[in-house]
Amino acid sequence: MIRKAIFPGCYIQGKGVLSNFGGIEELEKKRIFILATPTAVKKIIPEHLSSWKRICDVTYEAFGGACTWDEIERVRGIVEKDAYDVIIGMGGGKAIDTARVVARQLSVNYIAAPTIAATDAPTASACVVYNNEGSVVDYFTTSNPDYVLVDTRVIAEAPVRFLVSGMGDALSTWFEAEACDRSHFKNVSGGYNLRAVMSLAHTCYQTLLTYGKAAKIACENNIVSPALEYIVEANTLLSGVGFESGGLSSAHGIHDCLCNLEGSHAYYHGEKVAFGTLAGLFLEARPQAMIDEVYGFCRSVGLPTTLAGIGLGGVTDPELHAAIQPVFDNKESYLHHVRFDLTPEGIIEALRMADGVGRMG
Ligand SMILES: [Zn+2]
């Protein structure tokens, strides 16, 4: 049995670390290209540009808004004109993915600098490429970032819904890693789970339970408290390494099903993954004490616990069936990483149970 885990080269997190690029000595006097979301161009770059220019030669470009092959080509064209030493993706997951693909295509060092903690994508090697209509056209892995640079002051000033959504994505980590480990499914990196990663995934879950609510309150008040810092680490590093090297299972599989329903489109990845995690509790016959614990956590931070909470209040069983079937038919789907034979009807029952318990309050 081959066990495998993959990690970013270096993870730096702290209040204000963006002001000097985390003190990364490798960047001194180098040529740096930043692909930044419009929000980062407006708020973060003007604040830091002069201090960055004392360290290195910085050029930046506004991200076009979607990680499409057209956008990757556009950014690559700009980067290729000059010989840059390092590419930084700054913003949310899509800007980070676009910069990651360009950096790897050109064999240039890559830094992920997330400005929100909404998903675990920044630490990962996986890239998701969309078409202009917003559907996924490619999903592949490259390599993990050379550095991940997370400024907790920037995260604390971002809308709280991003942080809570990140907690929803992180919530699935332990359950999915445990399901893969128990059932001997390979993780996303292509090997079986190391004990190191199982430990890290469990720490992710415990951190959410212990510090989630306090971190939400800190973010609502733009305070970089220790609880906020622990949750940013859980959402970004523990969840990121946890999903790639611990594996995905029913929570992300159910997320993929829910994405096939129009009503859920206004809801974030982590919000739908959180509801997928709740449904997974029933699919896997988890004990009542654990069910109470997970629902208690979701309620304490404001993650959805009902179908209505993800825009699917009136969804019918035939609609759910139609959304589940294509994911179910894909034998490669993470949906199948559970310990027993699954049916679309069983998934619908688990979703209805999750909703029923959620509606009880
Ligand atoms: Zn996820």
Residue among 113, 180, 168, 191 at smallest CA distance from 300: 168
Portion of the chain with pLDDT greater than 90, in percent: 91
- Catalytic residue from among 48, 255, 337, 355: 255
- Ion ligand 1 neighbours (CB, 5 A) are 169
Contact 239, 204 (CB under 8 A): yes
By the 8 A CB rule, do 177 and 143 touch? Answer: no
**Ligand 1 centroid, distance to 119 Cα (angstroms):** 6
Interior/surface letters 306-333, b for 16+ CB within 10 angstroms, e for the rest = bbebbbbeebeeebbeebbeebbeeeeb
CB neighbours of 354 closer than 8 A, spacing ≥ 6?
Answer: 275, 278, 279, 281, 282, 305
317 is catalytic: no
pTM: 0.96
* Active site annotation includes 337: no
Q: Choosing from 120, 181, 252, 337, which is the catalytic residue?
A: 252
Q: Using N-to-C axis directions, what is the helix angle for 93-105 and 69-81, rounded to 10°? A: 50
- Over residues 158-214, the pLDDT tens digits come to 999 999 999 999 999 999 999 999 989 999 999 999 999 999 999 999 999 999 999
**159 residue type, one letter:** P
pLDDT one-digit tens code per residue, 1-58: 899 999 999 999 999 999 999 999 999 999 999 999 999 999 999 999 999 999 999 9
Per residue in 141-162, pLDDT (tens digit) is 899 999 999 999 999 999 999 9
Task: Please answer whether residues 282 and 349 qualify as being in contact, where contact means their C-beta atoms are separated by less than 8 angstroms.
Answer: yes
Tell me: pLDDT of 339 over 80.
no
